[in-house]
Structure 1
Amino acid sequence: METGTVADKKKSKKKDLKDSQLIIRIAGADRDRFVALCEELDTSAAREIRRFIRDFLASHEDGS
């Protein structure tokens, strides 16, 4: 039997939300090309960067 309330579940989900930023500097032309390609592929630049970071971490943490 679950004891958590709906409010508790919502608070729990909020903990999983993105709460940090990573600021990078790249050439404007590269950024524009990346964003345009993401749009063509029906995704977002942020989603793809987050995916890259997760994959990068997973590939480097497995062998540690």
Structure 2
Amino acid sequence: MAKTDDKKAGKKDSQLILRLNKDDRDTFIELCKEMDTSAAREIRGFIRKFIKKNS
């Protein structure tokens, strides 16, 4: 039997806080809604691609 662990694969356990212009934030959120995605998903995707490209 596999050992149980409190951490699940892919569990999100950290935050990145950033400041940006309210108009940019609102526009980004609205575009994400129109594209049926979330801002968090798009930012995570950007970070993963950036890491892969620059590692």
Q: Shorter-chain TM-score category?
A: 0.7 to 0.9
Q: How high is the TM-score relative to the length of structure 1?
A: 0.76
Q: What residue number does 1:36 align with?
A: 30
RMSD between aligned residues: 1.7
User: Which of 1 and 2 has higher RCO (CA within 8 Å, sep 6+)?
Assistant: 2
Q: As a proportion of its length, which structure holds more helix?
A: 1
Q: What residue number does 2:46 align with?
A: 52
Choose 1 or 2 for highest CA Rg: 1
Runs of 5+ unmatched residues, structure 1? none
Question: C-alpha displacement at 1:47, in angstroms?
Answer: 0.3
Runs of 5+ unmatched residues, structure 2? none
* Alignment of 1:11 onto 2:9: no
- Sequence identity, in percent? 51
C-alpha distance after superposition, 1:28-49 (max 9, x if no partner): 0000000000000000000000
